[in-house]
């Protein structure tokens, strides 16, 4: 019968006997007993067999004796673990009679296991600032045995810092370290303890644990310098990068709490001359050391750890700077008036450069040279001065008010405010009209503006003074005379003088039929209030078409016949005479005249112009001329004396419409007529029966001169220049 069949058989037997008889027998056996140990003898007579099952491997029955014995090693901890009760259940089948028994075999624990810890060493980190009474849990020991053989107590090795406190629980025992004394890492950084776990067996077994207590550092110590004061000497001008000294500090703490960094403490200029390595504490030169600036230098160095919070300490470093002859003498000047050994004139020399040399007695000797620039301060010792004492300005008549007349400018040799000038107008005591009503001056620029329009025919020239004043204290000033000449404009038309210009008169002249060519018919006189070329008049004649009998002198205004009369000529010839000036544009005046041809000279009214004149004969006219010349000479002398007297009495005048004339005679029989600004030459004409005086300015040719004449009726006429000839009659008017 194989095992399967046998096992099936027993199942059948078991099922058949289950109801017939059930009984339970309890046995006990100690664990770890030797094999073959008899466990029970009550079944010797019953003859039973152990039913196949898991627990059957530990027991068997002696078929001869019927005893139950241990067949294999029994380990309670392997079978039941930490359970307090450990039992193995067996089923046995009796054969005579057949009956099934249930066997419960209780395994009795033996103290065959010592307590043990999971690890052999336990490391505990405790900060050194832990308080007395602080508790630190320890690892729990294990014991595989149960009951009285299990873990019962803990013991701690003897030490001065910790004790042990044991707590019993339902399933385990807990132990804690209790701090009895304050820790100090700097005195003892590591504490070694032995924790012993003891069970209740007899004899007891135990297990141990090495407890290593690391006292954790806190930053409770500040760094300490090797000495509180460092002294060193150094020469001035020591090269940059030169090492001077190294400072050193230590810290009783450990780790980051003992790592030290060095730095300068404070904020002084001397600190910038040096540099300290933050890790090594080495101090080196990083600037220019100058004995003259810093003969001794005190530095404060800080050593600071990296703890949290950090702690620091300080020391002093005294640096004595050794002098070197590296400075040239310094020249300091103090301004004193006693530097001056003579009068100073800023306008001649505005500054002086003075060279001074100073040398020391060092080895080698050093010297310095300085140049003192002495600037001469200005005083207001120079009055303003104009470029010329008399300034001539020219202004066109009829100009718009407010126009720029001229600009005056003065210089001042001084500087600054002493040379800042202002301009003003001076009123003359002899002036009837205030100058400020006529003109205005810009006090800063010296520009002179007109305040009204001027008429050359009324005012040909006026004079005033300009004063330039500086801003010095006291102010100085100077004057300049300004002559303003009003330039003529062609604003006046020619005017035909009487008798041909009398209102309501009919102009008519008679000539004989027998008149030869060149016969004098009439003379037209005209005057122009303008001056110069604007008053230079020309005469033009217009006849009926086809007549061509008369001509007129373009500069004299004399009308003469061109030819003899013919029977075909008209008896009455209407003439149109035009007088034009030389201005731009030209202005003119016209008149009409009828020339009537008569048969006989008896019909012609006797006229002064009919008197024949011989140039070679000394007539009454020549006598009159001589008398007139003498009279004019006397008048000239008297005028000259009067002019000198007036000049001595009054040297200048603000306004001068007309200046005193000066008349001079010449060997050729001509006169010179002079005014303050113009000179005229005078000559006489005798080619007509009229009396004329020719006056023209000397700078111009005679063709451009002015003609002043006096007719028999004492009427003044200004005409154009006549050809120079001998004089038959004279009339003079000097304006």
Q: Which of 77 and 137 is assigned the larger pLDDT?
A: 137
Token readout for 247 is 């400072």
How far is the C-alpha of 244 from the C-alpha of 285, rounded, in Å?
7
Q: Which of 328 and 236 is assigned the larger pLDDT?
A: 236
Token readout for 210 is 């090495």
Tell the residue number behind the tokens 């008209």, with chain if given: 570
> Confidence band (pLDDT; 50, 70, 90) for 48?
low
Q: Which of 176 and 716 is assigned the larger pLDDT?
A: 176
Domains and CATH numbers, the chain: 25-108 (2.60.40.60), 121-216 (2.60.40.60), 227-322 (2.60.40.60), 385-487 (2.60.40.60), 495-598 (2.60.40.60)
Sign of the C-alpha dihedral, residues 566, 568, 569, 572? positive
Select the highest-mean-pLDDT range: 17-31, 410-424, 615-629, 707-721.
Answer: 410-424
CA angle 48, 51, 55 (to 5 degrees): 120
* 8 Å CB contact between 115 and 142: yes
Q: Which of 622 and 515 is assigned the larger pLDDT?
A: 515
pLDDT recorded at residue 621:
65
pLDDT tens track for 638-657: 888 888 887 766 544 444 43
pLDDT tens track for 348-379: 888 888 888 898 887 788 888 888 888 888 89
pLDDT recorded at residue 172:
75
Q: What is the rounded average pLDDT for all residues in the chain? A: 78
How far is the C-alpha of 72 from the C-alpha of 75, rounded, in Å?
10
Let me know how many helices (H) and strands (E) the chain has, helices first: 3, 49
pLDDT tens track for 421-440: 999 998 765 667 888 888 99
Report the DSSP beta bridge partners of residue 246.
282
pLDDT tens track for 532-557: 889 899 999 988 887 789 999 999 99
Where are the strands (E) in 347-442, listed by range?
351-359, 367-375, 385-386, 390-396, 404-407, 410-411, 421-426, 439-441
Lowest-confidence pick of 74-83, 322-331, 383-392: 74-83
* pLDDT, mean of residues 474-490: 93
pLDDT recorded at residue 649:
62
**Which helix (DSSP H) or strand (DSSP E) does residue 176 occupy?**
strand 173-179
**Which helix (DSSP H) or strand (DSSP E) does residue 706 occupy?**
strand 706-710
pLDDT beyond 90 at 214 = yes
How far is the C-alpha of 410 from the C-alpha of 420, rounded, in Å?
10
Question: b/e string for 671-699 if b means 16 or more Cβ within 10 A?
Answer: bbbbbeeeebbbbbbbbbbbbbbbbbbee
What is the pTM assigned to this prediction? 0.40
pLDDT beyond 70 at 661 = no
Token readout for 204 is 């007891």
Sign of the C-alpha dihedral, residues 595, 600, 604, 606? positive
How far is the C-alpha of 349 from the C-alpha of 460, rounded, in Å?
48
* 8 Å CB contact between 634 and 642: no
- Environment class of residue 634 by beta-carbon count within 10 Å: exposed (0-12), middle (13-18) or buried (19+)? exposed
* 8 Å CB contact between 691 and 730: yes
* pLDDT, mean of residues 187-207: 91
How far is the C-alpha of 405 from the C-alpha of 348, rounded, in Å?
36
How far is the C-alpha of 447 from the C-alpha of 407, rounded, in Å?
4
* 8 Å CB contact between 481 and 387: no
Lowest-confidence pick of 26-30, 283-287, 342-346, 525-529: 26-30
pLDDT recorded at residue 610:
39
| Collapsed DSSP state (helix, strand, coil) of residue 718 | strand
* pLDDT, mean of residues 441-454: 93
pLDDT recorded at residue 640:
86
How far is the C-alpha of 612 from the C-alpha of 608, rounded, in Å?
9
pLDDT beyond 80 at 709 = no
* 8 Å CB contact between 102 and 25: yes
pLDDT recorded at residue 611:
37
pLDDT recorded at residue 334:
75
Which candidate, 677, 685, 675, places its Cα nearest to that of 707? 685
Residues 6+ apart with CB under 8 A from 271: 264, 299
Token readout for 709 is 């004449």
> Confidence band (pLDDT; 50, 70, 90) for 17?
very low
CA distances from 124 to 177, 212, 213, 455 (A): 10, 6, 5, 127
* 8 Å CB contact between 90 and 77: no
Q: Which of 178 and 329 is assigned the larger pLDDT?
A: 178
Select the highest-mean-pLDDT range: 201-205, 247-251, 692-696, 710-714.
Answer: 247-251
Q: How many CB atoms are located within 10 Å of the residue 234 CB?
A: 19
pLDDT tens track for 228-244: 999 999 999 999 999 99
pLDDT recorded at residue 73:
79
How far is the C-alpha of 519 from the C-alpha of 524, rounded, in Å?
15
Lowest-confidence pick of 157-161, 363-367, 608-612: 608-612
| Collapsed DSSP state (helix, strand, coil) of residue 4 | helix
pLDDT recorded at residue 539:
95
pLDDT beyond 60 at 113 = yes
pLDDT recorded at residue 87:
80
Residues 6+ apart with CB under 8 A from 454: 395, 397, 398, 399, 486
């Amino acid at each position: 019968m194989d095992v399967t069949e046998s096992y099936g058989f027993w199942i059948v037997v078991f099922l058949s006997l289950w109801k017939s008889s059930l009984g339970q027998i309890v046995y006990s056996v100690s664990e770890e007993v030797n094999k073959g140990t008899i466990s029970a003898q009550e079944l010797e007579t019953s003859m039973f067999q152990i039913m196949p099952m898991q627990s059957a491997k530990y027991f068997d029955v002696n078929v001869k004796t019927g005893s139950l014995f241990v067949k294999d090693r029994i380990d309670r901890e392997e079978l039941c673990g930490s359970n307090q009760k450990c039992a193995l259940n067996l089923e046995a089948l009796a054969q005579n009679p057949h009956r099934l028994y249930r066997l419960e075999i209780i395994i009795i624990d033996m103290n065959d296991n010592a307590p043990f810890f999971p690890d052999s060493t336990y490391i505990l980190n405790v900060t050194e600032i832990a308080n007395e009474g602080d508790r630190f849990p320890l690892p729990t020991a294990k014991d595989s045995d149960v009951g009285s053989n299990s873990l019962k107590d803990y013991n701690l090795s003897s030490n001065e810092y910790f004790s042990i406190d044991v707590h019993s629980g339902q399933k385990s025992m807990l132990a804690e370290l209790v701090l009895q004394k304050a820790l100090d890492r700097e005195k003892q950084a590591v504490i070694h303890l032995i924790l012993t776990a003891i069970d209740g067996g007899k004899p007891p077994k135990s297990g141990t644990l090495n407890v290593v207590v690391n006292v954790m550092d806190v930053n409770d110590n500040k760094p300490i310098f090797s000495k509180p004061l460092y002294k060193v000497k150094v020469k001035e001008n020591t090269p940059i990068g030169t090492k001077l000294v190294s400072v050193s500090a230590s810290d009783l703490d450990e780790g980051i709490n003992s790592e030290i960094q060095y730095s300068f403490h404070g904020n002084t200029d001397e600190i910038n001359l040096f540099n300290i390595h933050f890790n090594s504490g080495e101090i080196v030169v990083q600037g220019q050391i100058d004995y003259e600036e810093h003969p001794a230098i005190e530095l404060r160095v800080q050593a600071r750890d990296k703890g949290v919070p950090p702690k620091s300490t300080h020391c002093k470093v005294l640096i004595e700077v050794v002098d070197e002859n590296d400075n040239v003498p310094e020249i300091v000047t103090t301004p004193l008036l006693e530097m001056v050994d003579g009068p100073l004139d800023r306008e001649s020399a505005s500054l002086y450069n003075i060279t001074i040399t100073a040398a020391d007695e060092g080895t080698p000797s050093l010297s310095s040279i300085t140049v003192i620039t002495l600037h001469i301060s200005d005083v207001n010792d120079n009055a303003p001065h104009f470029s010329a004492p008399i300034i001539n300005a020219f202004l066109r008549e009829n100009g718009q008010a407010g126009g720029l007349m001229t600009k005056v400018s003065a210089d001042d040799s001084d500087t600054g405010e002493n040379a800042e000038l202002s301009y003003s107008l001076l009123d003359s005591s002899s002036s009837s009209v205030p100058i400020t009503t006529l003109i205005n001056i810009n006090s800063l620029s010296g520009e002179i503006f007109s305040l009204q329009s001027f008429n050359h025919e009324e005012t040909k020239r006026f004079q005033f003074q300009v004063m330039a004043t500086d801003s010095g204290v006291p102010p100085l000033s100077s004057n300049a005379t300004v002559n303003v000449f009003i330039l003529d404009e062609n604003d006046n038309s020619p005017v035909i003088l009487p008798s041909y210009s009398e209102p309501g008169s009919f102009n008519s002249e008679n000539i004989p039929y027998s008149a030869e060519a060149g016969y004098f018919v009439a003379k037209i006189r005209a005057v122009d209030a303008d001056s110069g070329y604007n008053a230079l008049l020309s005469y033009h004649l217009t006849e009926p078409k086809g007549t061509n009998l008369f001509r007129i002198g373009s500069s004299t205004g004399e009308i003469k016949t061109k030819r003899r009369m013919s029977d075909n000529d008209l008896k009455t010839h209407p003439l149109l005479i035009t007088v034009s000036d030389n201005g731009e544009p030209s202005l003119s005046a016209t008149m009409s005249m009828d020339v009537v041809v008569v048969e006989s000279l008896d019909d012609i009214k006797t006229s002064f112009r009919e008197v024949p004149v011989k140039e070679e004969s000394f007539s009454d006219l020549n006598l009159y001329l001589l008398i007139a010349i003498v009279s004019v000479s006397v008048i000239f002398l008297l005028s000259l004396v009067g002019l000198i007297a007036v000049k001595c009495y009054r040297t200048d005048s603000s306004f001068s419409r007309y200046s005193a004339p000066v008349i001079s005679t010449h060997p050729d029989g001509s006169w010179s007529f002079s005014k303050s600004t113009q000179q005229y030459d005078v000559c006489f004409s005798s080619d007509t029966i009229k009396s004329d005086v020719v006056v023209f300015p000397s700078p111009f040719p005679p063709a451009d001169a002015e003609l002043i004449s006096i007719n028999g009726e004492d009427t003044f006429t200004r005409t154009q220049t006549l050809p120079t000839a001998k004089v038959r009659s004279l009339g003079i008017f000097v304006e």
